[in-house]
Amino acid sequence: MNPRHFISLLDVSGAELRALIHRAIELKNHRDLDYQPLKGRVMAMIFEKSSTRTRISFEAGMSHFGGSALFLSPRDTQLGRGEPLRDSAKVISSMVDCIMLRTDKHTTVTTFAEHSRVPVINGLTDEQHPCQLLADIQTFFELRGDLQGKTVAWIGDGNNMCHSYIHAAMVLDFTLHIACPVGYEPAAAIVAAAGGRVKFFPDTVAAAVGADLVVTDVWASMGQEEEQKQREIAFKNYQVDAAVMAAAQPDALFMHCLPAHRGEEVSAEVIDGPQSVVFQEAENRLHAQKALLEFLLCGK
């Protein structure tokens, strides 16, 4: 039987995603229970990009569940010497129970999934970041309830986070407002698949009007540092500041996947203010990914 993978939010149904989120909240609320469903199980974590939240959350989650995690960088494996991805996937999946990749090309993850005998998890690619969305969704559910029928405003780069928010809008049935500079829009095919759930706005305040959640990300993601100066010019009017939050609902939340650059994509006043839930959001990476591991490896 083919394993169940988590490459995109579109890999789960709305009912499955909601169940997964509610399970993450349950695990968080009962974190002191001695529950080790993955005792003796091993996860291989392949990192082509450095990480704080992704590594710690997956490694700690496996430990909490009684399992273990192997950290693998290109320097530690034959991947760094050009071994074909399909060969690496076949070999690694024959020795572990799950594989998580945090990498550049989205095709790296899809190729691994095609040739793996165990579940493959997308820990981040240049196209999507579904694990972060699990934490974001969990945080909103904890504080405001279901996202169905709500409005989310995405401010800034049409990057992997934006793509996964588009997918979340499709799966959970909410409206996504996007404000981004010309030339930095999300991929047209991903937008088209979402239909009327995605709407574009000419400026940040217009996008935020009526929003229940406002989200942003850095102007230059990892690997785009050489574009920093160019992006600073293009994104100078795309900061989430007090005016943006004032246009949103009075009880709107602010989220950011971190790390953040105060004074660039978000003002210190907002990220350190009362509407910001970025640290609850960051912690929820652990709980959401524990629920994901249980879902993929235990069939729950």
User: Which residues are designated catalytic?
Assistant: 102, 129, 132, 217, 257, 285
Which amino acid would we find at residue 76? Answer: D
Cβ-Cβ contacts under 8 Å for 123 (sequence gap 6 or more)? 45, 47, 51, 54, 58, 100, 101, 102, 103, 131
Are the C-beta atoms of residues 181 and 145 closer than 8 Å to each other?
A: no
